[in-house]
Structure 1
Amino acid sequence: MYKQYWLKSFDYKGVSNVTELIICLMINLGILLLIHLLGYVVPVSKENLVVTLYYIVLVLMIFPTIAMGVRIWNSNKS
């Protein structure tokens, strides 16, 4: 299901349900938490790379989340 979440990043015509969104958001939070915890383990000289990775992943997660929100909206309109 999470793979489909990413593969349908620009699919605004399909339908989804709220349960799928909640599961994907929890996985996203878990990934972001792991990256955040990685910041405590890496040396100080590499912390900027971890912060940059965190923000890149965070921004990239916006696209499939918006697409899934639109698909949920479409399923509620039907």
Structure 2
Amino acid sequence: MTTVNKFLRFQALLPQRTRYTATIKAINSDGTSTAETRDGGRVRVAGTSVAVDGKAWIEDGRIVGEAPVLTEYLELV
């Protein structure tokens, strides 16, 4: 059944999962890892497949894979 509500139709097009990269800071003994986000926040995520100081893709609170380590820089124009 489709809806005529335009906002709900638009919302259905958006991805439902939250995905971001983080640096793994510690691997915990309970099968979780402590990760640091780009803004400095710390989160505990499920999974231990990425080594300490490695970058990881985090999706819905779990590690889904290793992310590439890319150089970040700021360019002022």
Confirm or deny a common fold (TM above 0.5): no
Larger Rg: 2
Q: 1 or 2 for the larger relative contact order (CA 8 Å, sep ≥6)?
A: 1
**Larger helix proportion, structure 1 or 2?**
1
TM-score, reference length from structure 1: 0.24
